[in-house]
Amino acid sequence: MVASGVVTLVIAGIASLFMAWAIGAGSSGSTPFAPAVGANAISVMRAGFLVGLLGFGGAVLQGASVSEAVGTELIGGVELTAIAATTGLLVAAALVAFGVFTGYPIATAFTVTGAIVGVGLAMGGEPAWAKYRQISALWILTPFVGSAFAYTTAKLLRSERTAERVVIPLLGGFVGLIIANIKFAILGPGDASRSIAQSAAASLDLATVAGLDLGQVLASLAIGGAAAGLLFADVNSDLEAGQRHFLLALGSLVAFSAGGSQVGLAIGPLVPLLDPFEIPLVPVLVGGGLGLLAGSWTGAPRMIKAIAQDYSALGPRRSIAALIPSFAIAQVAVFFGIPVSFNEIIVSAIVGSGYAAEGGGVSRRKMGFTVLAWLGSLVLAIAVGYGAFAAIRMV
């Protein structure tokens, strides 16, 4: 029985690595730097190389929350078996790989969530309605919030009534505030996660006023102010160079966030299988991160080109406007442990920033096909996942 369990775990691990490769080649590997490539701030091949390294770092440092949610919170009443996890991963990976090779960005979170829910229902599990409401709220709000934020930011950057040399540093300060409050496993005591601001607050040991830790507030403001100050000096020295540096920094942050979120879609179904073998989660996160890295290096350039060139003729301003809400939404998803599609996040933001320039080259036909692909992938993943596992049980 032990040998059989090891074999099924190995098979599930291989399926997880395949899923990680497909994600790295698709959403996590292609979307973070697509706006920067569209703005000619970085080449396609260099973007694919960097996003792989940054995604690996995000997977190891931030991947635990989404992994646990995908593995244990999508279905009630049952625990995923190795066969169920393998079936769900293979169904989702096949759909994502189809998107990679056809050039249409299939929403990875939709396919993985749908496949795991499908096999879970086929096992006799119950729908986890509370989690579904949380997930659907973020999925529905993402295109509206992301595109609206990107549209407003792009308009602000293009307006003749505002100075870019002031607006860009202010945006950098906002990004710095988010960075200060991102939680990392390595900063927390034991298994807990803690942000840079929280770590600084623990050292300062200041009072709490109206529920706010003054040390954390001061640390956040200091980090945000430092980011704004550095960017102010950069853009006032050379505006174009400052724009490019900010754009590349944003792409790096989104790539890191993508790793922290998307690795959970690949290895999450393995989480219920680890306890019987006393396998810690961190080595599995490392393996998933390596899968993302391999996918980014081998398959991402095609999708980077598709998103950067087919959706909107981007310039530096609109690219910056697209990446800021993408980073913020990604970190919200990681914080709450919600699987989210980076294709949905980035494409929505690109469209919003594109319309700020009277349409900005946005292809409505392409967007129509993409939305259909997102919805279709969710429904198809549930149906195929359910049918595949039901067939396996009959055999």
Give the tens place of pLDDT for each residue, 192-232: 788 999 888 888 877 777 777 888 999 999 999 999 999 99
E strands present in 166-271: 183-184, 194-195, 208-209, 212-213
Which tens digit of pLDDT belongs to each residue from 305-343? 766 665 445 678 888 888 899 999 999 999 999 998 877
Give the residue-averaged pLDDT of 226-244: 93
Q: Which residue has the higher pLDDT, 256 or 39?
A: 256
Q: How far from 47 is each of 34, 108, 249, 362, CA to CA, in Å?
A: 8, 20, 12, 22
Whether 105 shows a pLDDT value over 60: the answer reads no
Whether 302 shows a pLDDT value over 80: the answer reads no
Which tens digit of pLDDT belongs to each residue from 29-72? 666 777 677 767 788 788 888 888 999 999 999 998 899 999 99
Whether 106 shows a pLDDT value over 70: the answer reads no
Output DSSP code: residue 73. S
Whether 115 shows a pLDDT value over 90: the answer reads yes
Please tell me the predicted confidence (pLDDT) of residue 311.
47
> CA-CA distance, 87 to 369, in Å (whole number)?
27
Query: Residue length, the chain?
Result: 395
In this structure, what token pair is assigned to residue 233?
Answer: 């000096």
CB proximity list for 69: less than 8 A, separation 6 or greater:
131, 264, 268, 337, 338, 339
Whether 258 shows a pLDDT value over 70: the answer reads yes
Give the residue-averaged pLDDT of 178-203: 84
Q: Which residue has the higher pLDDT, 86 or 354?
A: 86
Give the residue-averaged pLDDT of 88-105: 74
Amino acid found at 221:
L
Query: In which band, very low, low, confident or very high, does the pLDDT at 11 lie, cut at 50, 70 and 90?
Result: confident
Please tell me the predicted confidence (pLDDT) of residue 114.
94
Q: 49-63, 92-106, 281-295, 338-352: lowest mean pLDDT where?
A: 92-106
Please tell me the predicted confidence (pLDDT) of residue 1.
45
pTM for the complete prediction?
0.86
Give the residue-averaged pLDDT of 279-294: 90
For the chain, percent of residues with pLDDT exceeding 90 = 36
> CA-CA distance, 161 to 20, in Å (whole number)?
46
**Placement of tokens 């980014």 in the chain:** 296
Whether 368 shows a pLDDT value over 90: the answer reads no
Please tell me the predicted confidence (pLDDT) of residue 29.
61
In this structure, what token pair is assigned to residue 142?
Answer: 């993402």
Q: Among 145-159, 302-316, 344-358, which range has the highest average pLDDT?
A: 145-159
Whether 241 shows a pLDDT value over 70: the answer reads yes
Query: In which band, very low, low, confident or very high, does the pLDDT at 289 lie, cut at 50, 70 and 90?
Result: very high
Please tell me the predicted confidence (pLDDT) of residue 312.
47
Q: 36-40, 132-136, 166-170, 229-233: lowest mean pLDDT where?
A: 36-40
Please tell me the predicted confidence (pLDDT) of residue 371.
75
Query: In which band, very low, low, confident or very high, does the pLDDT at 348 lie, cut at 50, 70 and 90?
Result: confident
Please tell me the predicted confidence (pLDDT) of residue 188.
73
Q: 240-254, 262-276, 311-325: lowest mean pLDDT where?
A: 311-325
> CA-CA distance, 275 to 13, in Å (whole number)?
15
> CA-CA distance, 374 to 139, in Å (whole number)?
11
Please tell me the predicted confidence (pLDDT) of residue 280.
87
